C-alpha cells in the first residue's frame, strides 16, 4: 500500500476541515450526496454540512443545521434534528427521536438512544416485546465526551458537559458537568447556574417530604364506609377525587392506592361510564352512577374524559366503551360548536372543551384532524393563542385556555404549536400581572397554565434566560406553600374563591406536584425530584390505542 492510501479517508474521520482541505471534486461529490438524500428521503442540510459516505444514515427524518457533520462509522436511525455547528463523530450511534440545539459536540463511540425495549411480560422474550419511545432533547453548547450513553427520555440542558464514559439516565441541568454511572452533577461549568445546586437540594428535601406525606393524605381522604375518596376530609366523594388519588399514588408510591385494590378501582371507574354517550357523570354520595346531564356541554363529564381515562391508563386499563358522544359528532357539527364557544370572555371554557374533545379522540383511537385544522386556522398570530384579553382579568382567560386547548391536542399528540415565539411573548407578559402572580395569589391552574406553554415551546430557545428565571422564581414561591404532612391546597390563602380551595387536599397536591415538575424541568433541576408525571399532566405525547 502506498503511503497516500493511508490518508484516503482522513476527512471522513476528521470532517471539520473538509470544506477547507478537500479538493473541488470531493466537495462536488459531497454536495451531490446531500442532494441525493434530499431528493430521495426529504432530508434537509444547512450550508457547510458534511455526511461521510462511510456512515450509515438510515433516518426517516434528518435535519442538519449549518456546518454540522456526520463522520465515518456513525450509525443514525429515526428522527434526528440537529442545529448548527454540531459534530457527530466517528462510530457515534444516534437512534430514535433526538433533538439537538446548536454547538452540540459528540465524542466518538457515544450512544444516544431515543427509544427503549419494554419488558413487562416475563414470559415473552425481550426482543419480541414492544418498543417505547419518549425521545431525547439536548440543548445548545453541549459537550458530550467519548463513550457516553444517553438513555431515552433524558433532557440535557444548555452549556452542560457530559464526561467521557457517563451513563446518563436522568435529566442534566443547564450548565452542569456530569459524570459516572449513573451520571451525577460533579460541578458547574457555568457559574450563573450554580444557584441551581441549592434549588436542587431544596427539591430533593421537598420530594422526600411529599413521598412521606402521600400515604397519610390518601388515608385521611378515604371514606372506609363508602369505599370512596373525597378531595379533603369532610367533602363529598367525587369522580375526580378517585382519579387524583390514583395519580398521586402512581406518581410517588409507584402503585395503586392501598385503600382499594387496582382491580376494584378499574371495575368501578369503567362501571361509571354511561354506555350510550361514553361520558362519565358525577357520582352520588354512595358512589352510584348518576345520569349524564347535558352531554358535550356538561363540564364535569367532559373533564372526566381526561381524569378517568388517564386513571384507567395508569392502572393498565381503558374505558369500556368509546366516547360515543364525540365519535358521533360530524366534522361540520364540531366546527360549528368550536365557533360558538365563548372565546370573547371565557377562553378558558373554550380551551377546556377542546381538551376533552381531543382526549376523547385519543381514547377512541382517532386523530383529531378537524379539531387541529380549526385550531391552526384560528390561532391569533399576535398572541399565538385563541380568545381575547378582558379588562377584568387581562390575559388570564387567553393563557389558561391555551394550556387546556393545547394539552389535549398539540401536546397530547406530539405536534408543534403555531406561533411558538408569540406564545412565549404572551405568557411572559401575562406572568407580570400581579393580580394573578403575586406569591400570595398563586393557584394551581394559573401557575400550571403558565408553566406548560413555556415547556411546550422550550425547543425554540426564544427568550430562554427569561423563561428559566421565571420558572425558578415561581418554583421557589410555590414550594413555600407546601405543608409537610398535609400536602398542597389548590390556592394560596388570598387566591381561593371557592370553599375548600385553601385547604390541602388531593386535587391541589396532584396539580402542584405536576406543576413543580414542569417548572423544575424548565429550570434544569427536575432530576432532583425523582418523579415524572404520567397521567393527565404527563409531559410526553400519548399514543393512540
- All domains of the chain in start order, with CATH: 3-191 (2.160.10.10), 194-225+419-545 (no CATH), 228-328 (no CATH)
**Along the 545 residues of the chain, how does pLDDT read in single tens digits?**
555 566 778 889 988 889 888 999 999 999 999 999 998 888 999 999 999 999 999 999 999 999 999 999 999 999 999 999 999 999 999 999 999 999 999 999 999 999 988 777 888 888 888 888 889 999 999 999 999 999 999 999 888 999 999 999 988 888 888 999 989 888 777 654 546 678 888 999 999 999 999 999 999 999 999 999 999 999 999 999 999 999 999 999 999 999 999 999 999 999 999 999 999 999 998 889 888 877 788 888 999 999 999 999 999 999 999 999 999 999 999 999 999 999 999 999 999 999 999 999 999 999 999 999 999 999 999 999 999 999 999 999 999 999 999 999 999 999 999 999 999 999 999 999 988 888 788 999 999 999 999 999 988 888 888 898 899 999 999 999 999 999 999 998 766 567 678 899 999 999 999 999 999 999 888 888 999 999 999 988 987 66
In the prediction, which pLDDT does 194 show? 46
Among 206, 217, 218, 150, residue whose Cα is nearest residue 181 = 150
Q: For residues 483 and 210, is the Cβ–Cβ distance under 8 A? A: no
At residue 174, the pLDDT reads 82
Element containing residue 168 per DSSP (H, E): strand 167-168
Cβ contacts of residue 415 below 8 Å, gap of 6+? 372, 409
Residues 321 and 336: their CA atoms lie apart, in Å, by 26
Q: What is the pTM of this model?
A: 0.68
Q: For the residues of 54-97, what is the DSSP string, one character each?
A: TSEEEEEEEEE-TT-EE-TT-EEEEEEEE-TT-EE-TT-EEEEE
Q: What angle do CA 508, 248, 272 make, to 5 degrees?
A: 90
* Phi-psi group of 156: left, alpha or beta (phi > 0 → left; psi -120 to 50 → alpha; rest → beta): beta
Question: In whole angstroms, what is the distance from residue 532 CA to residue 527 CA?
Answer: 9
The DSSP bridge partners found for residue 161 are 143, 177
Contacts of 346 (CB under 8 A, 6+ apart): 387, 397
Tell me phi and psi for residue 362, to 5 degrees: -60, -50
Q: 174 and 189 in contact (C-beta within 8 Å)?
A: no
Longest dimension (CA), the chain: 89
Cα–Cα separations (whole angstroms), residue 495 to 440, 446, 447, 451, 468: 7, 10, 12, 18, 25
Q: Classify residue 307 by its DSSP letter.
A: H
Q: What is the rounded CA–CA span in Å between residue 258 and residue 249?
A: 8
Instruction: List all residues 6 or more positions away from 194 whose beta carbon is below 8 Å from its beta carbon.
Output: 175, 188
| CA pair distance 18, 143, nearest whole angstrom | 21
pLDDT for 7: 72
β-bridge mates for residue 158, sequence order? none
Query: Which residues are registered as beta bridge partners of 94?
Result: 76, 112
CB atoms within 10 A of CB 37: 18
Count of CB atoms within 10 A of residue 295's CB?
15
Amino acid at each position: 500500500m502506498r503511503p497516500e492510501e493511508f490518508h484516503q479517508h482522513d476527512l471522513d474521520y476528521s470532517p471539520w476541515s473538509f470544506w477547507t482541505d478537500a479538493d473541488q471534486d470531493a466537495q462536488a461529490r459531497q454536495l451531490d450526496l446531500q442532494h441525493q438524500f434530499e431528493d430521495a428521503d426529504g432530508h434537509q442540510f444547512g450550508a457547510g454540512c458534511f455526511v461521510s459516505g462511510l456512515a450509515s444514515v438510515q433516518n426517516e427524518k434528518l435535519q442538519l443545521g449549518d456546518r454540522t457533520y456526520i463522520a465515518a462509522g456513525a450509525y443514525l436511525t429515526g428522527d434526528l434534528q440537529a442545529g448548527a455547528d454540531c459534530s457527530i463523530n466517528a462510530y457515534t450511534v444516534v437512534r430514535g427521536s433526538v433533538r439537538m440545539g446548536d454547538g452540540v459536540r459528540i465524542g466518538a463511540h457515544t450512544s444516544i438512544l431515543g427509544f427503549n425495549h419494554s419488558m413487562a411480560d416475563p414470559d415473552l422474550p425481550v426482543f419480541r416485546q414492544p418498543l417505547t419511545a419518549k425521545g431525547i432533547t439536548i440543548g445548545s453548547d453541549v459537550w458530550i465526551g467519548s463513550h457516553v450513553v444517553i438513555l431515552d427520555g433524558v433532557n440535557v440542558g444548555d452549556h452542560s458537559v457530559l464526561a467521557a464514559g457517563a451513563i446518563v439516565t436522568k435529566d442534566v441541568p443547564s450548565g452542569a458537568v456530569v459524570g459516572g454511572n449513573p451520571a451525577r452533577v460533579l460541578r458547574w461549568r457555568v457559574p450563573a447556574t450554580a444557584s441551581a445546586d441549592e434549588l436542587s437540594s431544596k427539591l430533593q428535601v421537598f420530594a422526600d417530604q411529599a413521598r412521606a406525606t402521600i400515604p397519610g393524605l390518601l388515608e385521611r381522604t378515604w371514606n372506609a364506609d363508602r369505599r370512596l375518596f373525597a378531595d379533603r376530609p369532610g367533602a363529598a366523594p367525587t369522580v375526580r377525587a378517585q382519579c387524583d388519588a390514583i395519580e398521586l399514588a402512581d406518581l410517588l408510591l409507584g402503585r395503586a392506592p392501598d385503600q382499594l385494590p387496582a382491580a376494584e378501582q378499574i371495575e368501578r371507574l369503567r362501571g361509571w361510564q354511561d354506555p350510550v354517550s361514553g361520558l362519565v357523570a358525577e357520582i352520588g354520595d354512595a358512589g352510584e352512577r348518576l345520569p349524564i346531564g347535558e352531554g358535550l356541554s356538561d363540564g364535569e363529564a367532559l373533564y372526566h374524559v381526561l381524569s378517568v381515562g388517564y386513571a384507567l391508563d395508569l392502572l393498565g386499563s381503558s374505558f369500556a366503551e368509546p366516547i360515543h358522544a364525540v365519535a358521533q359528532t360530524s366534522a361540520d357539527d364540531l366546527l360549528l360548536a368550536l365557533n360558538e364557544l365563548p372565546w370573547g370572555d371565557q377562553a378558558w371554557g373554550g380551551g377546556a372543551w377542546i381538551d376533552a374533545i381531543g382526549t376523547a379522540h385519543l381514547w377512541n383511537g382517532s386523530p383529531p384532524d378537524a379539531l387541529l385544522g380549526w385550531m391552526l386556522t384560528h390561532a391569533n398570530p399576535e398572541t399565538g393563542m385563541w380568545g381575547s384579553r378582558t379588562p377584568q382579568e387581562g390575559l388570564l382567560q387567553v393563557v389558561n385556555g391555551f394550556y387546556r386547548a393545547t394539552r389535549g391536542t398539540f401536546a397530547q399528540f406530539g405536534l408543534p404549536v403555531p406561533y411558538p415565539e408569540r406564545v412565549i411573548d404572551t405568557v411572559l407578559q401575562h406572568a407580570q400581572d400581579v393580580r394573578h402572580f403575586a406569591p400570595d395569589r398563586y393557584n394551581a391552574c394559573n401557575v400550571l397554565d403558565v408553566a406548560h406553554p413555556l415547556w411546550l415551546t422550550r425547543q425554540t430557545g426564544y427568550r430562554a434566560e427569561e423563561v428559566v428565571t421565571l420558572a425558578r422564581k415561581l418554583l421557589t414561591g410555590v414550594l413555600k406553600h407546601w405543608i409537610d404532612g398535609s400536602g398542597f391546597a389548590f390556592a394560596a390563602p388570598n387566591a381561593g374563591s371557592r370553599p375548600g380551595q385553601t385547604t390541602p387536599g388531593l386535587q391541589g397536591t396532584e396539580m402542584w406536584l405536576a406543576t413543580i415538575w414542569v417548572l423544575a424541568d424548565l429550570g434544569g433541576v427536575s432530576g432532583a425530584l425523582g418523579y415524572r408525571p404520567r397521567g393527565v399532566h404527563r409531559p410526553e405525547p400519548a399514543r393512540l390505542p
